[in-house]
A = this chain, B = another copy of it.
Amino acid sequence: MTTFSHKILIVDDELDILEFLSYNLKKEGYQVFTAASGDEGIRIAKKELPHLVLLDVMMPGLDGIEVCRELRTSPGMDDVIIAFLTARSEDYSHIAGFDAGADDYINKPIKPRVLISRIKALLRRNQTGKDNASLDMGGLRIDRESYLVIKDGVELSLPRKEFELLSLLASKPGKVFAREEILNRVWGEEVVVGDRTIDVHIRKLREKIGEDFIKTVKGVGYKFEF
């Protein structure tokens, strides 16, 4: 069997990042293409039909989201895996809405080892045809199908309410969910539970997945961030 090499396209306007990523991925044996703008990214993507596209969200001109949209509607691109590169500080709320095409979000700054393992996971996933109903972010994977949360590679099995709560919050990173809304969607409209119930579940979640993912917005509710 000849060694098969995946094609990866990196689109980012910052040249040093481009080089950094390119270097590390090539070292892993991937076939790497780079583009410094959205337009160029689309052109190369159409020509090379890469298996995976790393897409910077913030770019002058065509931004990552628009590129993603364009790619997703291009012929032959149906199976392309698209991962967004996002700066940790950026507000995710506007991205969150766009769940049509992203397979993963990867935070900058990026440690090579982490990047490689995420990319391997992504490529593996799509190869087995297992189109997982799973979200992957900040070292946390939430798999709605297997009811499993994987944190840094370690499986956590959460009780139902906790899982649903996390699942809800993480479905729209950055968005603040009001307590009322949480109650409606996790517990249901008619169910009546005390005021502290949510807090307690939030606490248990934080114990399990770490303190940093769920942020309290006093007087309003909670939000998920990564």
**Which residues on the B side are within 8 Å of A129 (C-beta)?**
124-125, 128-129
A148 and B78 alpha carbons, distance in the complex (Å) = 19
A217 lies within 8 A of B147 (CB):
yes
Shortest Cβ distance from A118 into B: residue: B78
A106 and B105 alpha carbons, distance in the complex (Å) = 21
Looking at A18-26, A171-179, A205-213, the stretch in contact with chain B turns out to be A171-179
Q: Is A114 interfacial (CB-CB < 8 Å)?
A: yes
- Measured between C-beta atoms, what is the minimum distance from A48 to chain B in Å? 18
Q: Is A103 interfacial (CB-CB < 8 Å)?
A: yes
A220 lies within 8 A of B147 (CB):
yes
* 8 Å CB contact of A160 from B98, B125, B219: B219
A interface with B by C-beta (< 8 Å): 69, 72-76, 78-79, 86, 88, 91-101, 103, 105-107, 111, 113-114, 117-118, 121, 124-125, 128-129, 131, 143-148, 157, 159-160, 171-172, 174-176, 217-220, 223
